[in-house]
DNA sequence: GTGAAAGCGCTAACAA
DNA sequence: TTGTTAGCGCTTTCAC
């Protein structure tokens, strides 16, 4: 007495509350649900007529496939997690700097272009956050600037979910791949540029946190100083607090061994330093050369325009997502390929992206004040 | 001869590929899957000992519940969509302005605090984007600045998915609720402030797009002009193109009826106008009063510091998400409560948020140059 | 070419 | 108190 056979029929006649289901479409189109599924997904070898017919009916009924059901069945959600480390008390502050904004925009565009959506997730700081993580089915995750022993990364990788990081991870972190700038090269190049512009003593405005960016940049600075035989002159401050930047800039220029050029590691440092210079009556670039790392366009319009180091976050965002999706779709060797399971898990792929030094007035010693008083040049960039 | 009974058992003994399932936990803990589910979700009335035991086993097995299955079963995904209108060619540019950055950060934090995650989705511009939309199960959606006849919004609402917008929608758009600033009041107040500071002819730098913000602000300006009997002096430009701002600012100050005060509707307009003023040899605020709408902190450090109108995007983001989640959880009257169904569906809720005029040097006529550099003596009246 | 049936992993009635 | 069972809506072999 196999009652099983009746299931589909009886279900089909049941009241659909809101949305139409695949069964309703099948019934209305006079075909089976298999045909509907195939027609809508372009699978199988149905005659075009059937395909068209089914699509019409589906449209008429306002049929929307259930993402949840599809995900459950296929194991793919089309969702990519995006997370950032915590700065200070804020859950995360990735939008605080133009860098993250740009990076996220590019990442989102790339993901969408490949049929994925980004889910913003919190860094694993408190307890709560874990809940959210396990409440969403992720095909993969982008981690921005992962902490040295990020538990979420470890667990995701253990579960076989690809993780790609923006910023090179600590050795202990087994990410699938990572993308980063060559921070050492960038800083070195920039310091050389300042030296060429006549800087004798270059100062650094850096951060107190231990993230890779800060660490690598600072190290590169120290190494450069050593190489050229200059005493390091730097001030560090908690970069997550925007107010502290101004204070630190002030400290730096108040020092007895005041630098005649400064590189600021963080986005707002340009204005911080410019304001500090004004307070001390220092002219830029005559008395003080300035460079800061920023993606903001405001530095093209400051007085004077400030030279910036761009990390090209857009390119990083794009690359990170490409790598991730490649990993997701690549390792999809089918649910039955458990033979040579963890065999091909080699070293994580890593990609170094170029930076871009945008030279403006603030870092050019021998300048004829090409700032703004000049007649007209709306395009601006000098 | 019910063979059905054997399914669970046989399934349970089947090879679990990667992750442990609820059945494995049940088997390992020596209980049924119901008990596991209840224990892990805090439901049912199990003795604490059982609950603890199950949790331990689950932990030991590294059990993670399947979000997809939960979603399919419960109909709730814990996911909230976040979308923005398209600017120009970019899929979306919400990160381009500090406004969106702040708004999104606050929205994300609020959502996470209530156990939801945000999914970034494209505005329904091209065909492709629709795919992504229907590939993710959303409990609700936040729409930033919805287009007048946004098809996605209409469809979502039709499907019974709550939609809350940042920015008031056109009458035809049936959103669940919306949050917006009182743009008219803000602009009026700001113009009054400029007039009080001595402005005789206030100009406007506005946009060519037809979004609500631009429209309301411009209207308020025109109405104000009418009230005080001033001829409107404004230039409009495509706000999505950052370069155009500088050009438009230039145009505005080049006019024969040059204004002696300007309000710029968009974030970069402050620097745009400042640069233009410099080009024309206009001193700020002596010859030209300046205000722009911006969330950026750079205007505290420009020379001179520029008065800004803050829309308090953080508060808007928080409110939007609160409203949305309230709607999601409120209308969850259970799948069987179809009796008084659409009864309580009243008018969409709407919330007006205050703005904040941050007065700095650029809009104060009688100032003793409180900026930084000039040691100029306080010279009383203008 | 088309359809029936078997679940994906979980939750919630309902039994025991 | 705990276990059994019926699906959530879809994709996908495998028969026909």
Tell me the per-residue pLDDT of A323-361, one tens digit each, with 9 for 90 and over. 999 999 986 433 323 333 333 434 558 899 999 999 999
- pLDDT for A166: 92
- pLDDT for B87: 52
In the predicted structure, residue B335 carries a pLDDT above the cut 90: no
Q: What beta strand segments (E) does chain A contain?
A: 79-84, 117-121, 140-144, 163-166, 177-181, 202-207, 233-237, 261-264, 289-293, 307-310, 349-353, 356-358
pTM: 0.84
- pLDDT for A125: 59
B79 vs A contacts (CB less than 8 Å): 119, 136
- Compute the average pLDDT of residues B22-40: 87
Q: Find, in chain A, the residue whose alpha carbon is nearest to that of B299.
A: A271
- pLDDT for B97: 66
- Compute the average pLDDT of residues B162-172: 89
* pLDDT-based confidence at residue B10 (cuts at 50, 70, 90): very low
- pLDDT for A253: 97
* pLDDT-based confidence at residue B272 (cuts at 50, 70, 90): very high
Whole-number percent of chain A with pLDDT over 70: 81
- pLDDT for B127: 53
Identify the residue whose tokens are 């009257």: B333
Which one has a higher pLDDT value, A264 or B367? A264
**Residue A185 to residue A216: CA distance in whole angstroms:** 10
Which one has a higher pLDDT value, B95 or B108? B108
* pLDDT-based confidence at residue A86 (cuts at 50, 70, 90): low
B334 vs A contacts (CB less than 8 Å): none
Distance between start and end Cα atoms, chain B? 100
List C-alpha distances in Å: B263 to B219, B229, B240, B259: 14, 18, 18, 10
For residue B126, give every residue at least 6 positions away whose Cβ sits within 8 Å of its Cβ, in sequence order, or none: none
- Compute the average pLDDT of residues B308-324: 95
8-state DSSP, A284: T
- Compute the average pLDDT of residues B195-217: 93
* Strand C: residues with CB below 7 A: A 4-5, 8, 30-35, 38, 44-47, 50, 69, 72-73; B 7, 11, 14, 21-23, 33-34, 37, 40-41, 43, 63-66, 69-70, 72-74
List C-alpha distances in Å: A148 to A151, A171, A214, A333, B110: 9, 8, 14, 30, 27
In the predicted structure, residue A47 carries a pLDDT above the cut 50: yes
Q: Find, in chain B, the residue whose alpha carbon is nearest to that of A122.
A: B112
Q: Look at residue A180 and give its three-state secondary structure.
A: strand
pLDDT tens digits along B58-96? 888 888 889 999 999 999 999 999 987 655 445 445 445
Q: How far is CA B17 from the centre of its chain?
A: 41
Which one has a higher pLDDT value, A345 or A295? A295
Nucleotide nearest to A68 in CA–C1' terms: D9
Report which of B160, B156, B177, B158 is spatially closest to residue B168, judged by C-alpha positions. B177
State the average pLDDT for chain A.
Answer: 82
pLDDT tens digits along A234-290? 999 998 777 899 999 999 999 999 999 999 999 889 989 999 999 999 999 999 999
Nearest Cβ partner of A105 from B95, B272, B373? B95
Nearest Cβ partner of A18 from B70, B159, B373? B159
Chain C footprint bases within 7 A of protein beta carbons: 1-13
Which residue has its C-alpha nearest to nucleotide C8's C1'? A73
Nearest Cβ partner of A105 from B64, B93, B128? B93
Min CA distance, B375 vs chain A (Å)? 11
Q: How many pairs of residues across A and B have Cβ atoms under 8 Å apart?
A: 200
- Compute the average pLDDT of residues A90-99: 57
Which one has a higher pLDDT value, B345 or A162? A162
Burial label, A47 (beta-carbon count in 10 A; 0-12, 13-18, 19+) = exposed
* Measured CA A33 to C1' C3 distance, in angstroms: 8
- pLDDT for A147: 78
* Measured CA B329 to C1' C16 distance, in angstroms: 35
In the predicted structure, residue A168 carries a pLDDT above the cut 50: yes
């Amino acid at each position: 007495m196999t009652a099983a056979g009746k299931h589909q029929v009886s279900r089909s006649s049941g009241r659909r509350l809101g949305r139409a289901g695949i069964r309703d479409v099948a019934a209305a189109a006079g075909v089976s649900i298999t045909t509907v599924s195939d027609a809508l997904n372009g699978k199988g070898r149905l005659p075009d007529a059937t395909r068209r017919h089914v699509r019409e009916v589906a449209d008429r009924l306002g049929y929307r496939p259930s993402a949840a059901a599809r995900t459950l069945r296929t194991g793919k959600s089309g969702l990519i997690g995006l997370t950032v480390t915590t700065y200070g008390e804020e859950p995360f502050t990735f939008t605080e700097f133009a860098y993250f904004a740009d990076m996220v925009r590019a990442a989102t565009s790339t993901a969408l272009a490949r049929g994925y959506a980004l889910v913003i997730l919190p860094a694993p700081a408190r307890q709560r956050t874990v809940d959210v993580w396990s409440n969403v089915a992720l095909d993969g995750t982008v981690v921005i600037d992962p902490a040295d022993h990020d538990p979420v990364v470890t667990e995701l990788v253990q579960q076989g979910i690809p993780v790609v990081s923006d910023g090179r991870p600590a050795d202990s972190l087994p990410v699938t791949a990572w993308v980063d700038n060559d921070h050492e090269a960038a800083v070195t190049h920039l310091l050389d540029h300042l030296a060429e512009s006549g800087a004798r003593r270059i100062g650094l405005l850096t951060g107190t946190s231990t993230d890779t960016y800060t660490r690598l940049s600072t190290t590169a600075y120290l190494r450069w100083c050593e190489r050229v035989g200059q005493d390091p002159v730097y001030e560090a401050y908690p970069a997550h607090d925007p107010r502290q930047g101004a204070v630190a800039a002030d400290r730096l220029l108040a020092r007895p061994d005041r630098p005649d050029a400064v590189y600021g590691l963080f986005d707002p440092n340009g204005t911080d330093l410019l304001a500090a210079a004004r307070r001390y009556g220092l002219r830029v670039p005559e008395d003080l050369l300035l460079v800061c790392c920023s993606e903001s366009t405001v530095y093209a319009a400051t007085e004077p325009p400030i030279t910036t180091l761009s990390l090209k976050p857009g390119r990083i965002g794009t690359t990170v997502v490409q790598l991730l999706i490649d990993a997701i779709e690549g390792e999809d060797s089918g649910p039955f390929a458990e033979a040579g399971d963890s065999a091909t898990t080699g070293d994580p792929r890593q990609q170094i992206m170029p930076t871009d030094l945008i030279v403006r007035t603030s870092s050019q010693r021998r300048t004829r004040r090409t700032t703004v008083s000049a007649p007209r040049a709306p395009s601006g960039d000098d």
